[in-house]
A and B are shown apart, each in its own frame.
Chain A
Amino acid sequence: MINAVLVFNNTGQPRLTKFYSQIDVNLQQRLISEIFTLVANRPASACNFLPLPPLLQKTSSEALSDTDQPTRVIYRHYATLYFIIIADDLESELGLLDLIQVFVECLDRIFENVCELDLIFNFETLHQVLAEMIQGGGVVEVDRATIVESVKRAAKVTKRPQASLPDTATRSASPSGRSTPVNMAHRGSGVTGIGSNDFVWSGR
């Protein structure tokens, strides 16, 4: 089971929070800030697995009695954004790394060169993409084309003008934010990157 998917930027501002277990809002914030402190101090060359933040650490007794505990915190860092997945040991670590990659690629296809600003202004879409991939903590679809297709078709149903994708209106409306394009070359190996021409807004 995946317990949570989080996206926040380099300063710890959340951009997406999705918890698949119901927890209190204050706890959510504490968890985010704990993970942020963990992740922000890591050198770029470090591996993508985080030690459990203090909130999630289990006491020795629980370790034996319960198997549903989240045991892994996996992150990926793209330009200004951190993508985090918290999961238990029925999920594959490396698989989840790929899942983040799929997520980012899907966003990239929908927004065409996704940047943090896109995610801020279209956070509903962000949720939709995620919902097409993960439902209630289980991975439901990993095929990029299918995910993108579903989101786009659902968007057509809405017939809401500002939800038309990609949201060019939003982007042109805030040109100042895109002043410094940053190549979104992500690190990590094994999976190919999103593409060389990805530009990203440098942060808010």
Chain B
Amino acid sequence: MFEKSLYDLIRGLRAHKGNEKAYIAQSLQECRNEARSNDMDIKCAAILKLIYLEMFGHSMSWASFHVLEVMSSQKFVQKRVGYLAAVQSFRLDTDVLMLATNLLKKDLSSPNQFELSLAINGLSHIVSPSLARDLTPDLIAKMNHSNPYIRKKAVLVMYKIFLQFPEALRTSFPRLRERLEDNDETVVSSTVNVICELSRKNPKNYLPLAPQLFNLLTTSKNNWMTIKIIKLFSSLTPLEPRLVKKLVPPISNIIRTTSAMSLLYECINGLISGGLLTHLAGTSDGEDLATLCVGKLRGFLVEGDSNLKYVALLALTKMTKTHGYLVAAEKDVILECIDDEDVSIRLRALELVVGMVDVEILQPVVGRLLRQLKPVSGNDVETSGREDYEDNEEDEEVGEEELVKRTPGPARQAVSLPDDYKDGVIRRILEMCSKDTYANMPDFEWYIDVLVQLVRYCPGEIKKSGGQSLDDEDFEEAYTAGGKVDVGEEIGRELRNVAVRVKTVRRHATEAAELLVGRSSTMFPVSGGGGKRVLLAAAWIVGEYAEHLRNPNETIDSLLQSSNSSLPADVVSTYVQAIPKVYSYLTSNDSIAWTPGRKTTVSFLTSRIVEFLETLSSSPHLEVQERAVGFLEIFRLAKEAITEQPATTNKIPDEDDGGIQEEYDPPLILTQAIPSLFQGFELNPVAPRAQRKVPIPDTLDLETPINPQLAFLLSSADYDAGGGDIDSAAAAADDEFEKFYYQKPVVVVETAAQRIDRAASNNAAGEKHGLTGSYQSGEDTYLDPDIVARRKAERRERNKDDPFYIGSTGASGRTTPNPLGGEHFDIDSIPIMKLDLGDGAGLVKGEGIVGAPVPRVKVEIAGDEGEGVDDGEDIEPVGVGSLRIKGKKGKGKNILNVDSSNLVGFSLEEPEEDLLAQEEDVAKAKKEVERLRGEIARAAERVRVPTVQPIVEAPPQAQPTEGLKKKKKKSKAAAAAAEEGDGDDGEKKKVKKKKKKEGDQGAGDQAESIPVVKKKKKKRRSSTAEAGGAAGEDAG
């Protein structure tokens, strides 16, 4: 029989390109057979091939017993293959693991340093709690091995032991501590490594080592170790503030002198994450140190190496919390990173910038980001003849120009950005703009325009990897995981926030919302595309602030479009709510004469609403349905009232009639009833936790059932419906219910072509207004032309009465339609210049260098109600509790996670009360684990006891190739012998003989040997007595 070697396998793989699957399947089958071979060489080759194939995802867990056989080979080459296979394929639940104890014990006592290191390395991968417990003494001994090569590995493997068997930490800690003084540097380095890992779990234990570690820090020349020591100290310093003073000189010395960037960075990082800078903040030492760090980090940023840039941004982000002003001083280099061609650097920079924005740089930063988001399009050509506009640009643009040296775009924009990056950028923009209740917002009108612009840049809905077949739990998790709300909704929320909080721009915000609602069909095609959920807030604003609408008639038209019913359910339900509000605004004015014309208009509008709501009243979404049905009734009443109310005729009052003129008021339902539904207190922002401050009234009784007979009624209703009908009806209802609550709405992905179409139509819309933007200056480069045009028009309008502002309308010879529009022109919208002397004084002495500072409109931003009372103290327990539960749930999910829970809070001191005092429920769970562990241990014990004897007795040279199989037989025999207590020698010989026979047969006929092996395995698990008896039978 011809066996392939690994070499042949690889060559074969390469030869069978395109047909690898079949070849691999065939090879796996061959390996299966070869692994059962009695020839150790063949077995070993098969295992080696299996390891290779495992790399490509072909599990070799079935071969674990053969692996164990190869591991126990006498030849180092084979042993090494065996260990490699074990390392790659064994898991904690691999059942042969408990058979490995003795093998490892033996290899750990090997005189050959390579075998020894093989065993240690193997153990570091496959260690289980029982292995850890059984082998701890051997490993502790190895920590004092004469060869540093062994010592360093023995020390390092101890961490893995501790993870599985924390008790070992107590017994071995003195040894571990000694290794810190080892004369071999790598051993010390390993020790530091282990202590560093340990101290993250429970730093308290390792405080006594501080002097030794400090000594190492000052004397070591090994950068690797120094990095670890610094990491270690940064977990110790929070516990021992006195360390800070001691550490600062050596660390700052390293920062000044080292040439190794990694060490330099880790020093700075250690200073930050160890809280050293925080601790020293305010003192001159601390300031010097911080300045030094920031200086070095600036060097990283300037250097041009992208890796250094990346880490520097990471470190600076952490520093903003304590030394924001120092970081802010470096904003020139940091802002450059926002436009870096590397997306990961951009994201880091963005994160950093969010933390450091202030009034001055907010606009330029957002401008940069918007420019990034701007889709790459070919027609970025400048339109000439718009120059005159630019000359008249306001100061803010000029200021912006100087701050932001825009680099020529095309090269940068050529990179198409991934959707999740866009998504992230939009979120960041919102975050930095809304920070501290808009503390940094210089201009809210600008912000609203930015928001509208952002809606257009929204990436399409991000598809979850699982596609549309997500079940409800996944869906929920995916959504709640990062607290992720759709970006569109997020933008909408901002828009609403501004509209509610900032009264002065409420009109502007409402107009923006109007625009969004009005254009919804073109901007958010049914086929998907992002940002649609902004309508949720837009519709609300439109309804709530209907009095600010530019054109309420058109708005209600667009609210009533029949295509709206295909919007997401929650959006539709806000639409349903908004419609009566706008309607009420339109119709409630009783000063407008109730003429026949008016009557027709109103009645027509009412009919349309009734019609629209009728279609929704059978909506499968409960919320939509409920609201629609409710309002439907009201509007039907209204319709009735309108038809019944005669109109005032247009006839001129006739003198002859004695001055009697029949005048009719609009129906009361329009002027009184419907408006009263929506009038009341003004809505103010409320702090998220305000509700909790409201005391629960004593009389509130949530226990008593409202209808004590409810259960009976329900059951009788079920019964009444009766028959076969009920099932299908209920099932149908269930389906709808299921569909609504548990299924993700089907996402139709917009194709590229559609997207382009939409973009084109958007452009066309802009063009139609006769307003093409120029791409020359500030806002134009990131806001879409139509928004820019609107802004300009508004600005002109605002400056119309300003004698110092030279209007451009005349000069350019263009007429722009008055955006505020004909009859609904509102005199209040013309801003009245307020002369603020305080501001003026500031301007006079202010820095003329930067250009005029951004004129900050003084706006009143409404804070959260109830904020003052809210101390936020009670937020903690709830949050933590829920987090805990979640964390537990998620634990299994994270795949590379190392379970170190054993070590968390593990104390070096004797446990007793300390451990017991900890959470009781944890103790309960532990008990269960303990019990199981005990069982495993006992099982292992059973295996181990009988094996000890024969190893001592059996001559090692006897048939080495027989390997483990043989040994096991022997052990059983021995056990049997021990039980029976007689015929020791005779029994064993018999066994040997039998074995030989078997071996001979097996060599020729593999198939026969399989059941033998299997049988043995089974027996091994049974109790000693049984095994002994069985073996006795075997032998007999």
Q: Which residues of A contact B (CB under 8 A)?
A: 1, 3-4, 13-29, 31, 43, 45-51, 54-56, 58-62, 64-70, 86, 88, 90, 92-95, 97-98, 120-121, 123-124, 127-128, 131, 135-143, 146, 150, 153-154, 157-160, 162-163, 170, 174, 188-190, 204
- In the complex formed, the residue of B with least CB distance to A136 is B124
B124:A135 contact, CB within 8 angstroms: yes
Asked if residues B345 and A47 are in contact (CB atoms below 8 Å), the reply is: yes
Q: Are A124 and B894 in contact (CB under 8 A)?
A: no
Cβ–Cβ contact B887 & A62, under 8 A:
yes
Choose one: A69, A93, A143; the contact of B897 (CB below 8 Å): A69
Once A22-B92, A47-B307, A92-B262 are accepted as A-B contacts, the answer to whether A135 and B153 lie under 8 Å apart by CB is yes
Q: Please, which residues of chain A bring their CB within 8 A of the CB of B896? A: 3-4, 19, 21, 23, 31, 56, 69-70, 86
Query: Once bound together, how far apart are the Cα atoms of A178 and B149, in whole Å?
Result: 37
Bound-state CA distance A49–B344 (Å) is 8
Please tell me if B58 contacts chain A, counting CB pairs below 8 Å: yes
Q: Establish whether residues B48 and A124, one from each chain, have CB atoms under 8 Å apart when the complex forms.
A: yes
Interface string of B337-355 (1 = CB under 8 A from A): 0000111110100000000
Given contacts A55-B895, A142-B224, 5 further A-B contacts (CB under 8 A): A14-B55, A22-B125, A135-B120, A135-B121, A139-B193
- B307 and A49 form a contact (CB under 8 A): yes
Q: How distant is the Cα of A174 from the Cα of B223 in the complex, in angstroms?
A: 41
CB atoms of A136 and B125 under 8 A apart: yes
- Bound complex: CA A94 to CA B899 (Å): 26
Q: Is the CB of B894 within 8 A of A56?
A: yes
The reply to whether A23 and B84 contact each other, CB–CB distance below 8 Å, is: no
CB-based nearest A residue for B415: A43
Cα of A139 to Cα of B890 in the assembled complex, Å: 29
Determine how close the nearest CB of chain B comes to the CB of A129; give it in whole angstroms. 12
Counting from the closest, the 9 A-B pairs by CB-CB distance are A136-B124, A94-B262, A47-B306, A61-B886, A65-B887, A29-B57, A46-B342, A3-B896, A158-B77
When chains A and B are docked, how far (Å) is the Cα of A158 from the Cα of B125?
23
Q: Is B14 an interface residue (CB 8 A)?
A: yes
CB of B881, distance to nearest CB on chain A (Å): 11
**In residues 455-493 of chain B, which contact A (Cβ within 8 Å)?**
465, 477, 481-483
- A124, B81: Cβ atoms closer than 8 Å: yes
Complex CA gap A189/B360 in Å reads: 36
**Residue B765 CB within 8 A of the other chain:** no
Given contacts A64-B883, A90-B200, contact A47 B309 (CB under 8 A): yes
Are A95 and B266 in contact, with the CB atoms below 8 A? yes
From residue B762, how far is it (CB to closest CB) to chain A in Å?
29
* B227 in contact with A60 (CB, 8 Å): no
Pick the interface stretch among B156-164, B534-542, B701-709: B156-164
Among residues of A, the one whose C-beta sits closest to the C-beta of B482 is A60
B417 interface residue, CB < 8 Å from A?
A: no
CB-CB under 8 A from B306, the residues of chain A are 45-48
Chain A residues near B124 (CB, 8 Å)?
A: 135-137
Residues on the B chain within 8 Å of A131, using CB: 121
Contact B898 A98 (CB under 8 A): no
Most B CB contacts (10 A, CB to CB) among A55, A95, A163 go to: A95
B722 to chain A, nearest CB (A): 47
Query: Could you say which residues of chain A place their CB within 8 Å of the CB of B153?
Result: 135, 140
24 examples of A-B residue contacts, CB within 8 angstroms: A14-B56, A21-B895, A21-B896, A21-B898, A29-B57, A31-B896, A45-B341, A47-B307, A61-B883, A62-B891, A65-B887, A66-B891, A70-B896, A90-B231, A92-B227, A92-B265, A137-B124, A138-B159, A141-B152, A153-B114, A157-B76, A170-B7, A174-B11, A190-B261
Which of A50, A55, A56, A95 is close to B344, meaning CB atoms less than 8 Å apart?
A50
With an 8 Å Cβ cutoff, the count of chain B residues facing the other chain is 83
Smallest Cβ distance from B230 to chain A, in angstroms? Answer: 9
In the complex, A189→B309 CA distance in Å? 12
| B540: min CB distance to chain A, Å | 28
Instruction: Indicate whether A54 sits within 8 Å of B465 (C-beta atoms), given known contacts A14-B55, A45-B342.
Output: yes
Q: How far is the CB of B226 from chain A (nearest CB, A)?
A: 10
Give the distance to chain A from B38, nearest Cβ to Cβ, in Å.
20
Give, as a whole number of angstroms, the nearest-CB distance from A46 to chain B: 4
Task: For B189, list chain A residues within 8 Å (CB).
Answer: 139
How close is A171's CB to chain B, nearest CB, in angstroms?
12
Main secondary structure of the interface of A (DSSP, over half): mixed
A70 to B560, CA, bound (A): 52
- B270: nearest chain-A partner, CB-CB: A92
Q: What is the interface of chain B mostly: helix, strand, loop, or mixed?
A: helix
Bound: A48/B54 CA distance, A: 28
Known: A21-B896, A65-B887, A67-B200. A135 touches B48 (CB 8 A): no
Interface residue ranges, B against A (CB under 8 Å)? 7, 10-11, 14, 48, 52, 54-59, 61, 76-77, 80-81, 84, 88, 90-92, 112, 114, 120-121, 124-125, 149, 152-153, 156-157, 159-160, 186, 189-190, 193-194, 196-197, 200, 223-224, 227, 231, 261-262, 265-266, 305-311, 341-345, 347, 465, 477, 481-483, 882-884, 886-887, 890-891, 894-900
Q: A1 with B895: in contact, given A16-B55, A160-B77 (CB under 8 Å)?
A: no
**Inter-chain contacts of B261 with A (CB < 8 A):** 94, 190
For the complex formed, measure the closest distance between the CB of A200 and the CB atoms of chain B, giving whole angstroms.
17
- Inter-chain CA distance A193–B343, complex, in Å, is 26
Which residues of B lie under 8 Å from residue A60 when comparing CB positions? 481-483
Q: Which residue of A has the minimal Cβ distance to B264?
A: A94
B161 to chain A, nearest CB (A): 10
> Once the chains bind, are A59 and B55 in contact (CB under 8 Å)?
no
Known: A4-B896, A92-B262. A162 touches B231 (CB 8 A): no
User: Cβ of B190: which chain A residues have Cβ within 8 Å of it?
Assistant: 138, 140
Interchain CB contact (< 8 A) of A98 among B193, B262, B305 = B262
CB proximity of A123 to chain B, nearest CB, Å: 6
When the two chains form the complex, which single residue of A15, A123, A154, A163 contacts B114, counting CB atoms closer than 8 Å? A154
Contact status A136-B897, CB under 8 Å: no
Q: Are B57 and A97 in contact (CB under 8 A)?
A: no
- With A54-B465, A60-B483, A141-B152 given, is the CB distance from A49 to B310 under 8 Å? yes
CA distance A4 to B883 in the complex (A): 28
CA–CA, A80 and B305, complex, Å = 22
Q: Is there contact, CB below 8 Å, between A136 and B14?
A: no
A95 close to B224 (CB less than 8 A): yes
Could you tell me the distance between the alpha carbons of A66 and B887 in the complex, rounded to whole angstroms?
A: 8
Report how far A150 CA is from B116 CA in the complex, Å.
13
Cross-interface CB contact of B194 among A64, A94, A138, cutoff 8 Å: A138
Interchain nearest-CB distance for B28 vs A (Å): 13
Per a CB cutoff under 8 Å, which of B186, B305, B311, B894 touches A62?
B894
Contact B265 A94, beta carbon cutoff 8 Å: yes
CA distance A89 to B149 in the complex (A): 27
Q: Which residues of A contact B92 (CB under 8 A)?
A: 22
The complex places the Cα of A31 from the Cα of B55 at a distance, in Å, of: 12
Complex Cα gap A3–B890 (Å): 18
Q: Could you say which residues of chain A place their CB within 8 Å of the CB of B186?
A: 140-141, 143, 146
- Across the interface, do B311 and A162 meet the contact criterion of CB distance under 8 Å? no
CA distance A29 to B898 in the complex (A): 19
Give which listed residue, B76, B310, B882, contacts A158 with CB less than 8 A: B76
The interface residues of chain A lying within 8 Å CB-to-CB of B157 are 135-136
The interface residues of chain A lying within 8 Å CB-to-CB of B81 are: 124
Closest to B227 in A: A92
Chain B residues positioned under 8 Å from A189 (CB to CB): 305
Chain A hits for B196, CB < 8 A: 90
A136–B895 contact, CB under 8 A? Answer: no
Q: Which residue of A lies closest to B92 (CB)?
A: A22
Asked whether A66 lies within 8 Å of B342 as measured between CB atoms, the reply is no
Chain A neighbourhood of B891, CB < 8 A: 62, 66
* A97–B307 CB distance below 8 A: yes
In the complex, A188→B261 CA distance in Å? 13
Residues of A within 8 A of B482 (CB): 59-60
What's the Cα separation between A61 and B890 when bound, in Å? Answer: 9
Do the beta carbons of B7 and A47 come within 8 Å of each other? Answer: no
Q: A22-B92, A136-B124, A136-B160 are in contact. Are A127 and B84 (CB under 8 A)?
A: yes
Min distance, Cβ B159 to any Cβ of chain A, angstroms = 7
Known A49-B307, A65-B884, A136-B160; judge A22-B266 contact (CB<8 A): no
